[in-house]
Structure formats: structure tokens, C-alpha cells
């Protein structure tokens, strides 16, 4: 206890020396604090980006593998289509199995079926192929007749006589059969309308990306309701409005019907709409609904096979390969492949990651310089205090007690000025962090407003009903207080750094104290 | 009466000195409680070195030193220094950033003395050596040489040691102050039964000693 008391007395009685040490520690702490804040801000930006554009993986047809497989054995086109049709679609159960992975943070999927509709016309040309088959039948007839039997020669006047005449007649009969058939991909389904079911706003990538924008009404936030949004073209063609109902029919059994209420009308903004060779856009007959509707329809008609497109949100950029390997091991067909946006994500955050790396390097350099300066100051300090050490040792203080007292003094000075430095650093960091985050905050706000607009609805509804997180946008807030930058974690790190610096720079005192002989010190003094 | 401190054929030479070049050789002295001893000699005769050996600050010597019949080379020297022996240096060796009383309290703390009011005890000790309460609060640098020497004596008494060793205690003092300090030593030896060993070359100090040991130059024992 007396060591603590004596350490405090020594600090207060040797202000000049301790203030000098303190200023150095304060500068180091401020630099560390700013660096840590830059690192934290960089992390926030990267996290925000990864949240907004998460590393996601999806399962899709491996066209290359498929083409290679179809080329084998010189298959005819029909055989190729049959082979293609024999590839089983990824099922919901499989997706659940793949989603149950330590590499996946969440997953969603869209479910797609094709249906016909009652009372409304489709906004697309039907692809009808007319096959004309011409059948030619050739009949050869041998005829012989005599004059005596003139009547046997049809179409000829009676010639009389009994001479025998022979004639070979060839008749050709041409039959033309016209067959109209739909050459189609069975996987695309037989219905005219594509019903796509989603289970969250986030999964509605076309709306999030701005490919689709609600022109009238809104996308219902009840992902279990019998609601849908339809394309502007379909609405115009059939004079449909928000609130109208559409009855869809199963392509397998016309008696199986399902009624959906239109809650919104969307417009497609992609370039596909401007394709002059088509009258309608590709999405004209796309009816957007929720997965519950698709599940209900499939329950009614078990022959319908929904096409399920999963999206797995992966935990980090490092796990893409591991996840792909795991999915293959869990039994994904060779005709399917896992694709991800990892390159895009890494590319986009590359510059900010570089800033973070620079900050880390700067932190290390600061620490090394700081530790060296403190070490040297301590060496000088110990030389100055040699006499004190000699006196303390002479009056019976143990070496370990002297070392403890000197270390404690430095630790107290270190912690006090470290906190002061952290405060100064935090004040500066608020500005630095804000300037770093400003652009990101602005982007997030713009993105939220634009995406929210894409989903439609009144201004009043936009606020409470839809949070930015529903669109995968992280709420980045401007730093307005010190504790937002220098949080407990940063403070803990700084204290750790302080203790480390104290220990490293005290090594000089420890060595000196253990080597000094009190007699030599006092002799020197004399 | 058994001597409290006994030197048996003690020889010492510096680390870098020639093999036969001793500062002193085969010293055999005895010291008893209640007496004042003076070790005198000219400069370079090894007075302070002998004091270092007795106080356990120097361990590299030939021969034996016994404290209460215990071989000094086998006892805990930190404990010996902070409880059995009080050392008073010529240059006082006080901690200059502390006050007179704080120097004494620190010594008590190091010795882990269980005294309830250490400050009061420190003031009492200072009074014993002729310093009043106002001196107790002053930083030692603000005290005169004589006052600092008194503080050093008071510090050495703080843990009530049986032996008090003083190295040239009056070397930096005027005659009047020297007299006052010597009176304190006398009192300590004759009234409080301490064994007081004073290293000096002052004849005045020798006069008041109960026994004088003289060290001569050129490594010869007396």
C-alpha cells in the first residue's frame, strides 16, 4: 500500500518530469485514438456496403456443363430438349438443406410458376409452330382389254374388234397435313403468366435495383396475402386497375383457379422494354406475388413444379469457396453451379480496406515510435533517479518493491494522459469520421428514398412501414458525440496499448534497478 | 556481555585491485550495546568501506561478520538493514522531494511497522533529535545541513534498531551543531542502550567515544 502512496507522492512532487512523459503519452494516445476511429469508420463503411450489397450466392444452371453434356454423342435437338427436361429443378427442401450452413447468415428464395388466366389476355405473342407434312401416295394400275370387250376401257369410245390392248396407269395422291404445336421449354411451364413469389422486400431485387418501379398502388407488405402487382402493359391491355381481381387457372386443370387482388402496377425500366423487335417487354406477363400464394397454388395442383431461385447471404467474402464445396457435397446436381458477387463486393470495398490497412500501419508505427521515445525517457529518468534508488535500497526497500513503485508511477501517469489523449483524439476523430462517413450516409439516404419509392405507397406509409434494413440498407448515423467514436472497445484497446507501452518502456527501469548496487550509487553521489 | 556485532579477520580489497592489495586486512572488532565506537582513519583508509560491510551493503569480503552471533552472510540483508541497523550518511541520503516527516514515515512503511499514527511518531522522533513540528512539514532541501542530519538520525531511529552506524555525521556541520549531534548519539548509546558506531576522522568525535578503532593506510591493521 505504501508503494501506491509513495508513487502518488512522487508523481505530484515531480510534475515537470511527469508532464513531459504525459505529453508524449497524450500525443501517442491521440494518434492511436484517431487511427482507431478511422479503422472503426472504415469498418462501418465496409459493413454498410456488405450489408447493402451482401456477399450472396445463388444456384443456377451451369450452361457450360449442360452444353458439354448435350454435345456428347451427337444428340438431335429433340434429344437435347429431352435431356434438358430430365434435369430436376432445385427443390425447396434442397434449398433449406443448403441454407442450413455455418457459412450462411440468411437466405431467401423466389418461387415461380406459370399459370393461365381467366378473362384477361396475355401481353405477349404466343410462339406457335405450324408443321406441314406432305404425303405423296403413288398408285400403279395395269389395265388390259380387247375389242370384244370395249366397255372395259373407261373413257374411251368403243373401238370394236377382238384385239387385246394393255396399259399401265400411275396415279399420285398428295396429302398435306398441317400440325400446329407449341415448341416450348417444359421448365418454363405451360401457363402464359409467370407468377413470381417473394418473401421479403429485400428479395425483390428488381425493385431494389430500380428495374421495376411502382407506378400506381404499392407492393403489399403482407407477404402472405392473396395480392399481386402486375405490369403496366398487362394493366393497359386488359384495362386493369388497382383493386381489381384476377383469376388464374392451372395449365393442367382449368378447374383449379386462384384469385389475386391487384395492389399495384409496376413499370419496367430496363433496356429490355426498348427492344424494338418485341411489342411487349419480357416482364409484361410477370405477375409479382408472394411465396405463400405460390405454395397455396402448388398445393391445389400438385402437378405444378415451381422453379425456385435461392439467394444465400454469406457471412463473409472468405467463405464463398467453402460454401460452394459444401453445397456440392450436399448433393447439388452437376448441371447446377453456385455463382456469387464476391468479386464485385471486394472490388467496391477495396479502397476503403486500403485506408484501414494504412491506418493499422500508422498505428503500429506510432506505437513503435512512442515505445522507443518512452523507453529513452525512462532511461534518462532512471539515471536521474539513481540516487533515490540508492537511498531506498539502503534503507531496506526490496528491489521488487522499488521496481513496482517506479512502474506504478509510470502506469498512473500513462493512464491519466492516455485518457486525456483519447479525449483529444476523439474530438478530432468526430470530424475525421464524419468526413469519411458523410458520402456513405448521403448514399444510404438516397438509396433508401429511391428504393422506397420503387415499392410505391403513400408518403405516410413509407416512414413507419418500411425500414432501410428491409431493403438491406444499414442506418449509418453521423457521429455527433465522442463516445460514438471512442467507445468502450476503443478505450479498452487504448488502455491495453498504455499498459503495453508502460511495460515495454519500464524494462529499462527494471534492468537498471536490478543492476544498481546501492553502495556504488551512494559512492558516486559522494 | 556478548557483543552485538563481531568482526573476525575481515579483509577487503577492491574488485579490480591486485591480489594482495587490500584496503584492510584481518580486522577483528567487537561492538556492544550501550556504547559509542569510533572508527577513525585518514582518507582512503577504508572507513566507509568497513561501514558498508557492517551495514550489509557490501558482501564481497573475507572473514566473518556476526550480528547477534549470526553470520551476516547468511541473513536477509534487506531485513537486516530495515530493522536491525540504522545507517546515517555523511550526505544524509534523504529523499529530497519528501518532507522531513515523510522521509521518516517512508522508512516506517518499508519496515512494515504497525504504528497507528505514523505521522505523530515521526514528529516525536524529530522532537527527540531537536526538531519541532514546523520542521516536520518542510521539504528536506529547505532544511539546513544540521537539520538534515537530525532528520537522518530520526529516520534511522524510526524502526528502533539496535545498532546505529554513522558515516562522518558531523563532517558537514559547524562546531555547535556538531556538538548537538554528538549529544544525540551519546544519549542514544548511554540512555537508550544502542550500539553507536561512528566513522570519522574528527578528533572531537573520538574524544566522546567509549572505544576507538583506528584504520591506517597501506592496508595495515591496527
8-state DSSP, A202: T
* A396 vs B89, B98, B111: nearest CB: B111
Looking at chain A, the whole-number percentage of residues with pLDDT higher than 90 is 12
DSSP chain B: ---SEEEEEEEE--TTS-TT--SEEEE--EE-TT-EEEEEE-TTSSHHHHHHHHTTS----EEEEEETTEEGGGS-HHHIIIIIEEEE-TT----TTSBHHHHHHHHHHHTT---S-HHHHHHHHHHHTT--HHHHHSBGGGS-HHHHHHHHHHHHHTT--SEEEEESTTTTS-HHHHHHHHHHHHHHHHTT--EEEEEE--HHHHHT-SEEEEE-STT---
The mean predicted confidence, pLDDT, of chain A is 77
Q: Taking CB atoms and an 8 Å limit, are B110 and A526 in contact across chains?
A: no
Q: What is the pLDDT of residues A367-401, one digit of tens each?
A: 888 878 878 888 888 878 888 888 888 888 888 88
Q: What is the DSSP string of A48-79?
A: HHHHHS--EEEEEE-HHHHHHHHHTTT--HHH
Chain B contacts to A (CB-CB under 8 A): 48, 52, 55, 57-58, 78-79, 81-83, 87, 89-91, 93-95, 97-98, 102, 106-107, 109-111, 155
Q: Yes or no: say if A118 and A164 are a contact pair by the CB < 8 Å rule.
A: no
Give the integer Cα–Cα distance in Å for A267 and A265. 7
What is residue A155's predicted lDDT score, i.e. its pLDDT?
42
Contact assignment for A397 to B79 by CB distance below 8 Å: no
Q: Which of B58, B91, B107 sits opposite A395 (nearest CB)?
A: B107
Domain CATH for B198 = 3.40.50.300
Interface test with B, best of A388, A390, A395 (most B CBs within 10 A): A395
Mean pLDDT of B79-90: 85
**Residue A348 CA: distances (Å) to CA of A206, A351, A373, A447, B173:** 21, 7, 39, 16, 82
Q: For residue A160, is pLDDT > 50?
A: no
Has residue B222 got a pLDDT over 50?
A: no
Confidence of residue A252 (pLDDT cuts 50, 70, 90): confident
Contact A395 B110 (CB under 8 A): yes
Residue A102: predicted pLDDT: 92
The answer to whether A396 contacts B93, with C-beta atoms less than 8 Å apart, is no
Residue of A nearest to B50 (CA): A519
pLDDT at A245 over 90: yes
| Total number of domains constituting chain B | 1
Residue in A2, A5, A388 nearest the CB of B95:
A388
Residue B17 lies in a domain: no
Residues 6+ apart with CB under 8 A from B97: A9, A10, A13, A14, B139
Dist. CA A21–CA A211, nearest whole Å: 61
The answer on pLDDT for A104 being more than 80 is yes
Inspect the interface and report whether the beta carbons of A2 and B106 lie closer than 8 Å: yes
Q: How far is A387 from chain B (nearest CA, A)?
A: 8
pLDDT of residue A18: 87
Q: How confident is the model at residue A439 (pLDDT cuts 50, 70, 90)?
A: low
> How many whole angstroms separate alpha carbon B191 and alpha carbon B194?
8
For residue A345, CA distances in Å to A2, A105, A206, A400, B64 come to 59, 16, 19, 55, 81
Contacts of A391 in chain B (CB under 8 A): 93-95
Question: Cβ contact (<8 Å) for B52 and A388?
Answer: no
Residue with cell 544519549: B187
pLDDT band for position B163 (cuts 50, 70, 90)? very high
Q: Which residue, among A443, A450, A452, has the nearest Cα to A474 in the 3D structure? A: A443
Distance of residue B110 Cα from the nearest chain A Cα, in angstroms: 6
Q: Do A395 and B58 touch (CB under 8 A)?
A: no
The minimum CA-CA distance between A491 and chain B, rounded to whole Å, is 34
Q: Is A181 helix (H, G, I), strand (E, B) or coil?
A: strand
Does residue B138 lie in a domain region? Answer: yes
Across the range A197-219, mean pLDDT stands at 85
What pLDDT does A261 receive? 94
Q: Does the pLDDT value for residue B101 go beyond 90?
A: yes
Spatial contact of A298 and A113, defined as CB atoms under 8 Å apart: yes
Nearest residue of chain B to residue A398 (CA atoms):
B78
- Give the residue numbers spanning the domain of B81: 34-45+77-215
**Residue B9 lies inside a defined structural domain of this protein:** no
**Searching chain A, which residue's CA lies closest to the CA of residue B97?**
A13
Residue of A nearest to B51 (CA): A519
Of A275 and B47, the one with more pLDDT? B47
Closest CA in chain A for residue B113 = A2
Residue A266, pLDDT score: 92
Of the two residues A261 and A349, the one the predictor is more confident about is: A261
**B87 contacts in A (CB within 8 Å)?**
394-395
pLDDT above 90 for A62 = no
Q: How far is A408 from chain B (nearest CA, A)?
A: 17
**Any residues with CB less than 8 A from the CB of A94 and at least 6 apart, and which?**
A330, A331, A332
* Residue B28: pLDDT over 50: yes
C-beta atoms of B107 and A2 within 8 A: no
Contacts of B119 in chain A (CB under 8 A): none
Does residue A326 contact residue A133 with C-beta atoms inside 8 Å?
no
Give domain status of residue B13, yes or no: no
- Cβ pair B195, B35 in contact under 8 A: yes
> Which residue does chain B place closest to A400, by CA atoms?
B78
Task: With H, G, I as helix, E, B as strand and everything else as coil, classify residue A172.
Answer: strand
CB pairs under 8 A between A and B: 61
* pLDDT tens, position by position, A446-477: 766 777 777 776 544 444 456 655 555 555 44
Does residue A159 carry a pLDDT above 80?
no
Q: Do A14 and B97 touch (CB under 8 A)?
A: yes
Long-range pairs for A154-163: beta carbons < 8 A, 24 or more residues apart: none
> Nearest residue of A to residue B111 by CA position?
A396
A205's enclosing H/E stretch is helix A205-209
* C-beta of residue B111 within 8 angstroms of C-beta of residue A396: yes
Amino acid at each position: 500500500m505504501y508503494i501506491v502512496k509513495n508513487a502518488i507522492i512522487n508523481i505530484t512532487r515531480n510534475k515537470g518530469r511527469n508532464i513531459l512523459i504525459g505529453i508524449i503519452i497524450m500525443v501517442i494516445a491521440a494518434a492511436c485514438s484517431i487511427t482507431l476511429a478511422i479503422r472503426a469508420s472504415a469498418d462501418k463503411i465496409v459493413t454498410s456496403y456488405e450489408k447493402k450489397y451482401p456477399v450472396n450466392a445463388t444456384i443456377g444452371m451451369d450452361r457450360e456443363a449442360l452444353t458439354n453434356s448435350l454435345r456428347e454423342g451427337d444428340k438431335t435437338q429433340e434429344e437435347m430438349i429431352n435431356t434438358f427436361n430430365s434435369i430436376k429443378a432445385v427443390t425447396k427442401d434442397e434449398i433449406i438443406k443448403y441454407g442450413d450452413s455455418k457459412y450462411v447468415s440468411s437466405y431467401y428464395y423466389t418461387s415461380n410458376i406459370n399459370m393461365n388466366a381467366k378473362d384477361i389476355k396475355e401481353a405477349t405473342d404466343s410462339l406457335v409452330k405450324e408443321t406441314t407434312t406432305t404425303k405423296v401416295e403413288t398408285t400403279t394400275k395395269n389395265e388390259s382389254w380387247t375389242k370384244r370387250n370395249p366397255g372395259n376401257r373407261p373413257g374411251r369410245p368403243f373401238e370394236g374388234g377382238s384385239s387385246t390392248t394393255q396399259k399401265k396407269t400411275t396415279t399420285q395422291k398428295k396429302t398435306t397435313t398441317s400440325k400446329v404445336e407449341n415448341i416450348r421449354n417444359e421448365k418454363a411451364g405451360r401457363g402464359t403468366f409467370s407468377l413470381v413469389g417473394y418473401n421479403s422486400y429485400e428479395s425483390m431485387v428488381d425493385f431494389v435495383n430500380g428495374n421495376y418501379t411502382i407506378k400506381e398502388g404499392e407492393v403489399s407488405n403482407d407477404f402472405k396475402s392473396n395480392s399481386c402487382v402486375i405490369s403496366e402493359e398487362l394493366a393497359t391491355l386488359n384495362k386493369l386497375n388497382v383493386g381489381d381481381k384476377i383469376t388464374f387457372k392451372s395449365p393442367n386443370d382449368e378447374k383449379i383457379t386462384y384469385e389475386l387482388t391487384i395492389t399495384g402496377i409496376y413499370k419496367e425500366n430496363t433496356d429490355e422494354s426498348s427492344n424494338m423487335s418485341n411489342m411487349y417487354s419480357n416482364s409484361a406477363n410477370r405477375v409479382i406475388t408472394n411465396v405463400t400464394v405460390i405454395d397455396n397454388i402448388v398445393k391445389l395442383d400438385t402437378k405444378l413444379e415451381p422453379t425456385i431461385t435461392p439467394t444465400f447471404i454469406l457471412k463473409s467474402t472468405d467463405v464463398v469457396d467453402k460454401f460452394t464445396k459444401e453445397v456440392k457435397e450436399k448433393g447439388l446436381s452437376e448441371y447446377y453451379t453456385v455463382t456469387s458477387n464476391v468479386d464485385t463486393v471486394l472490388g467496391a470495398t477495396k479502397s476503403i480496406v486500403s485506408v484501414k490497412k494504412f491506418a493499422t500501419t500508422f498505428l503500429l508505427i506510432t506505437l513503435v515510435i512512442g515505445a522507443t521515445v518512452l523507453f529513452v525517457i525512462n532511461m534518462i529518468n532512471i539515471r536521474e533517479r539513481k540516487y533515490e534508488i540508492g537511498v531506498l535500497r539502503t534503507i531496506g526497500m526490496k528491489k521488487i518493491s522499488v521496481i513496482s513503485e517506479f512502474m506504478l508511477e509510470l502506469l498512473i501517469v500513462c493512464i491519466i494522459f492516455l485518457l486525456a489523449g483519447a479525449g483529444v483524439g476523439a474530438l478530432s476523430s468526430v470530424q475525421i469520421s464524419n468526413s469519411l462517413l458523410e458520402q456513405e450516409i448521403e448514399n444510404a439516404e438516397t438509396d433508401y428514398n429511391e428504393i422506397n419509392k420503387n415499392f410505391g405507397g403513400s408518403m405516410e406509409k413509407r416512414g413507419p412501414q418500411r425500414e432501410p434494413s428491409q431493403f438491406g440498407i444499414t442506418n449509418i448515423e453521423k457521429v455527433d458525440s465522442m463516445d460514438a467514436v471512442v467507445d468502450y472497445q476503443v478505450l479498452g484497446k487504448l488502455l491495453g496499448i498504455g499498459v503495453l507501452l508502460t511495460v515495454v518502456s519500464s524494462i529499462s527501469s527494471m534492468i537498471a534497478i536490478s543492476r544498481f548496487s546501492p553502495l556504488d550509487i551512494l559512492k558516486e553521489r559522494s | 556481555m556478548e557483543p552485538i556485532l563481531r568482526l573476525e579477520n575481515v579483509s577487503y580489497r577492491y574488485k579490480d585491485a591486485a591480489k594482495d592489495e587490500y584496503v584492510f586486512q584481518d580486522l577483528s572488532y567487537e561492538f556492544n550495546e550501550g556504547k559509542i565506537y569510533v572508527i577513525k582513519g585518514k582518507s582512503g583508509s577504508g572507513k566507509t568501506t568497513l561501514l558498508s560491510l557492517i551495514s550489509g551493503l557490501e558482501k564481497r569480503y573475507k572473514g566473518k561478520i556476526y550480528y547477534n552471533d549470526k553470520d551476516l552472510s547468511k541473513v536477509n540483508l534487506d531485513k537486516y538493514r530495515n530493522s536491525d541497523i540504522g545507517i546515517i550518511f555523511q550526505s544524509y541520503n534523504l529523499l529530497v522531494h519528501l518532507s522531513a516527516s515523510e522521509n521518516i514515515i517512508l522508512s516506517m512503511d518499508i519496515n512494515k511497522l504497525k504504528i497507528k499514527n505514523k505521522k505523530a511518531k515521526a514528529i516525536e522522533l524529530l522532537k527527540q533529535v531537536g526538531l519541532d513540528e514546523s520542521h516536520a512539514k518542510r521539504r528536506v532541501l529547505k532544511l539546513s545541513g544540521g537539520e538534515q542530519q537530525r532528520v537522518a538520525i530520526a529516520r534511522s531511529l524510526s524502526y528502533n534498531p539496535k545498532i546505529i552506524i554513522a558515516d562522518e555525521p558531523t563532517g558537514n556541520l559547524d562546531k555547535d551543531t556538531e556538538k548537538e549531534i554528538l549529544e544525540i548519539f551519546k544519549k542514544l548509546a548511554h540512555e537508550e542502550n544502542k550500539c553507536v558506531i561512528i566513522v570519522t576522522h574528527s578528533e572531537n568525535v573520538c574524544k566522546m567515544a567509549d572505544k576507538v578503532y583506528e584504520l591506517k593506510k597501506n592496508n595495515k591493521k591496527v
